[in-house]
Each structure stands twice: as structure tokens, then as C-alpha cells.
């Protein structure tokens, strides 16, 4: 297989700062699309993995699965994309395509295991390297079309993970006009959850630890914002919510939220704390509530989400940074000091000294 050099930033080992890294990517095969990356969002999962907080990390690691860019070249059998098209790549670059989940468009639950964009292996067994890099080569079936104005690409990139991870559960649990939805945590995922639930026509209540985010919550589309330490304010929503989307990245107490759900209500985790949560059974038994989880979304649903966002003029609120600031940005994400996603401008890779 012929390859050519790619430039990016990688963590050499767990907790090592990210640093410039040159590596090889395959030349596009018959079904591949080669994409020049314009922007890549920083997801909290990038940090969990680069710091090996979930175990089993593969180094050197080039993180990044919120990729927006422009097609540079396509293989001879590619039919849907051509040079110059604006496209996205999310958390997956391949899957088995034959298991029951792949056949139903739920590639994220591929039974032998999806091939993730980084910290994983591709179908041919080579390690995958993510979007903190100048280009990427991906099978056309895992490439998404972006219909937003190209000027919006910095804010579009985070839709490829933060957007689909919040859209998919809202969609699966039939959120729409008449629903009352809670969103817990106003970070990268949470702010997309608020925007999307609002655009789907739901009444949205945002729960945050951070009083300084109150005005932003309303601006982003929440009908009410509750500071989660305020018990009286929490009780206003007792047994009133149909669905709660919990985006918190750390161990936290889910029990006060269970009581806010109506009969048959669902509390869905999308955040991935590194230690177990404890749940009081009574909070589930009473009113037949469910505690659930959701992982990104399938490829067809990701396209549906991107189209929904283009139609509703939705992008992520981003702070653009050059790649040289990535380590500082990681620390700021952990401190919740970003409104609400960093988006790395990949032109910065060309900057002198890298
Ligand atoms: P983020 O930007 O850091 O947002 C997380 C938010 O959680 C923070 O803004 C904060 O909101 C709240 N929070 C943080 N620490 C907390 C604590 N100790 N107690 C209570 N609340 C706390 O992270 P993100 O990129 O949105 O990712 C969120 C989580 O989802 C991460 O664990 C990530 O790995 C995971 N994730 C899962 C999927 C999936 O497919 N399921 C996909 C992507 C990411 P407030 O200040 O408003 O309280
Ligand atoms: Zn992510
Ligand atoms: Zn499969």
C-alpha cells in the first residue's frame, strides 16, 4: 500500500503534552476520499483518551473526531464526492457493514467493533490517526456532506461528535413539540443539546453548576436555567420532565435528577465519567423510570443531523485556536473554561516552527 506523509499533533504517551508529529497515511484507494482538514473540534473524549483515562489507549495518538474539510482527491470508484466538496468525518472511519447493527445503520454498535477515527485500528489493522492533522483518507461511506456556508466551518466541525451525540438520543426518545427536556451540563455536548432540543420544538430546562452560564443558557435556547445546587429550584421541575440528557464528564450525583422525571421518563447518560455512578433504586422504581445511555449516532443519522443543522442555521459556539495552543485548551476544557467548544484552525500547522 502506498502512503504519503501527514503532519499533525500527537500525544506520545498518556498525559504527555501533544507535540508536532509526522506520520504516514495511505494514498486514497478506489473507494477512498482524501480530505484536507480545515477545522477539528476538541471533544472532552479527546482528553480522556490522550490521558488514557479509559484505559487501553494506543500511542502515539493523534486525537480529533470532529473534522470538517474539503475533498482534495477521490478514488476511481467514489461516486458521491468530488474535489472541492465540503465534508465531515466524525468518530468512525469504518465498520464491518454486515452485522445486524451495521445493516440497521447503527455502525457505532458494530458487533465486531466499529473502526474509530483515532485510538483504534482500521479494517486493514493499521492504527487510526485523527483530525489534529493536515489531511485524512476515509472510505466514502463514512464521509458526510456539509451543506452549511463554508465560512461557518469552524462551528460545523463540532457537530460531527457533539452534534450527533446529542441529536441521536433526542431523536431516538422522540423529543419534539410538547416534550419537556432537561439538559445537564453546559459544555460542548450540553450546548448542542440545548440548541437541538429547542430546534426540535421541545421545552428545554438546562441544569448547570455554574451561575455564570445562566444568560448563555437562555441565549442558546433554554426556556429555564436551574443552578443544580439550588434544591428549591430543582424541585420546581419535580416529576415534570419527559427526558433528561446528561452530558457531565465527571462522577456526579444522578439521583436528584431521577425525581424530576415523569412516569416512564428516561435519564440518558452521554457523558463518560471514569468511575462508577451510584443510583438509588427507588428513584427508578417509582414512576417506572429508566436510566439509559447513548453512543454518538450512525452514519445516516449523522447526515440527517448535519442537514437538520443546516436547515435550522445551527452551528456550535466555538473559540478558534491554532494547534500550538492545544495543550492549554485541554486544561481549559477540564476547567469548563470555554464557550463552548474549541475548534482548531488547521492552517496553523503551516505556521513557522509549528
Ligand atoms: P465538556 O465540554 O467538558 O462539558 C462537560 C460539562 O459537564 C461541563 O461544562 C460542566 O457543565 C459539567 N461538569 C463538568 N465536571 C462536572 C462535575 N464534576 N460535576 C458536575 N458537572 C460537571 O465535555 P464534552 O466534550 O461536552 O463531553 C462531555 C462528556 O461526554 C465527556 O465525558 C465525553 O467523553 C463524553 N462524550 C460522550 C460521547 C458519547 O457518544 N456518549 C460523545 C462525545 C463525548 P456545567 O459547568 O454547566 O455544570
Ligand atoms: Zn467526541
Ligand atoms: Zn458491524
Q: How far is the CA of 188 from the centre of ligand 1 (A)?
A: 7
CB atoms within 10 A of CB 285: 10
| Sites in the chain below the pLDDT cut of 70 | 352-354
Q: Which residue's CA lies nearest to atom 8 of ligand 1?
A: 187
Quote the pLDDT of residue 303: 98
From the CA of 316, which ligand is nearest? 1
pLDDT digits 0-9 by tens, 116-149: 999 999 988 999 999 999 999 999 999 999 999 9
Mutation to probe ligand 1, out of 271, 276, 297, 331 (largest number of atoms < 8 A from CB): 271
Q: Which residues contact 308 (CB under 8 A, 6 or more apart)?
A: 167, 196, 199, 314
Exposed / middle / buried, residue 166 (Cβ in 10 Å: 0-12, 13-18, 19+): buried
HSE-up (13 A, CA, CB side) for residue 41? 33
307 burial via Cβ count (<10 Å: 0-12, 13-18, 19+): middle
- Nearest atom, ligand 1, residue 248 CA: 7
State residue 158's pLDDT score.
98
- d(CA 44, ligand 1 centre) in Å: 7
- Name the residue of 41, 42, 44 whose CB sits within 8 Å of the most ligand 1 atoms, as the mutation to test its pocket: 44
Residue whose CA is at the smallest distance from ligand 1 atom 34:
45
d(CA 343, CA 354): 17
Question: What pLDDT does residue 272 have?
Answer: 86
pTM comes to 0.97
Per-residue pLDDT reduced to its tens digit, 186-240: 999 999 999 999 999 999 999 999 999 999 999 999 999 999 999 999 999 999 9
186 CA distance to ligand 1 middle (Å): 8
Q: Which atom of ligand 1 is nearest to the CA of 190?
A: 26
- The CB of 250 under 6 Å from ligand 1? The reply is yes
Cα angle vertex 103, ends 173, 268, to 5°? 25
Q: Kindly give the distance from the C-alpha atom of residue 246 to the centroid of ligand 1, in angstroms, as a whole number.
A: 8
Ligand 1 atom 9, closest CA:
187
Q: What ligand has the least distance to the C-alpha of 168?
A: 1
Of all atoms in ligand 1, which is nearest to the CA of residue 336? 9
Predicted local distance difference test score (pLDDT) of residue 317: 98
Task: Tell how far the Cα of 149 is from the centroid of ligand 3, in angstroms.
Answer: 33
**Helices and strands counted in the chain (H then E):** 11, 17
Q: Is the CB of 187 under 6 A from ligand 1?
A: yes
Ligand 1 within 6 A of 161 CB? yes
Q: What pLDDT score does 354 carry?
A: 44
Amino acid at each position: 500500500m502506498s502512503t504519503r506523509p501527514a503532519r499533525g499533533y500527537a500525544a506520545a504517551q498518556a498525559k504527555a503534552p501533544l507535540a508536532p508529529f509526522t506520520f504516514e497515511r495511505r494514498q486514497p484507494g478506489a473507494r477512498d476520499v482524501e480530505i484536507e482538514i480545515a477545522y477539528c473540534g476538541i471533544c472532552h473524549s479527546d482528553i480522556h483518551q490522550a490521558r488514557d483515562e479509559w484505559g487501553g489507549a494506543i500511542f502515539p495518538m493523534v486525537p480529533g473526531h470532529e473534522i470538517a474539510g474539503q475533498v482534495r482527491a477521490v478514488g476511481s470508484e467514489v461516486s458521491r464526492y468530488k474535489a472541492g466538496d465540503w465534508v465531515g468525518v466524525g468518530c468512525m472511519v469504518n465498520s464491518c457493514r454486515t452485522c445486524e447493527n451495521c445493516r440497521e445503520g447503527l455502525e457505532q454498535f458494530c458487533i465486531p467493533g466499529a473502526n474509530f477515527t483515532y485510538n483504534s485500528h482500521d479494517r486493514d489493522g493499521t492504527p487510526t490517526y485523527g483530525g489534529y492533522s493536515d489531511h485524512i483518507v476515509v472510505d466514502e461511506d463514512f464521509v458526510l456532506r456539509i451543506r452549511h456556508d463554508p465560512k461557518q466551518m469552524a462551528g460545523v466541525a463540532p457537530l460531527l461528535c457533539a452534534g450527533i451525540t446529542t441529536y441521536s438520543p433526542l431523536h431516538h426518545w422522540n423529543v419534539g413539540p410538547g416534550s419537556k427536556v432537561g439538559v445537564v451540563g453546559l459544555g460542548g455536548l450540553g450546548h448542542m443539546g440545548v440548541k437541538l432540543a429547542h430546534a426540535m420544538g421541545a421545552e428545554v430546562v438546562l441544569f448547570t453548576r455554574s451561575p455564570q452560564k445562566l444568560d448563555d443558557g437562555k441565549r442558546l435556547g433554554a426556556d429555564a436555567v436551574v443552578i443544580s445546587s439550588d434544591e428549591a429550584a430543582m424541585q420546581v421541575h419535580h416529576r415534570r420532565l419527559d427526558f433528561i440528557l446528561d452530558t457531565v464528564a465527571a462522577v456526579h450525583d444522578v439521583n436528584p435528577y431521577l425525581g424530576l422525571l415523569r412516569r416512564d421518563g428516561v435519564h440518558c447518560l452521554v457523558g463518560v465519567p471514569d468511575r462508577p455512578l451510584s443510583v438509588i433504586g427507588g428513584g427508578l422504581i417509582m414512576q417506572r423510570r429508566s436510566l439509559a445511555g447513548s453512543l454518538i449516532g450512525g452514519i445516516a443519522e449523522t447526515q440527517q443531523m448535519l442537514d437538520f443543522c443546516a436547515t435550522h442555521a445551527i452551528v456550535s459556539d466555538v473559540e478558534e485556536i491554532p494547534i500550538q495552543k492545544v495543550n492549554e485548551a485541554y486544561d481549559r476544557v477540564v476547567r469548563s473554561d470555554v464557550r463552548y467548544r474549541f475548534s482548531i484552525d488547521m492552517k496553523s500547522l503551516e505556521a513557522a516552527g509549528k
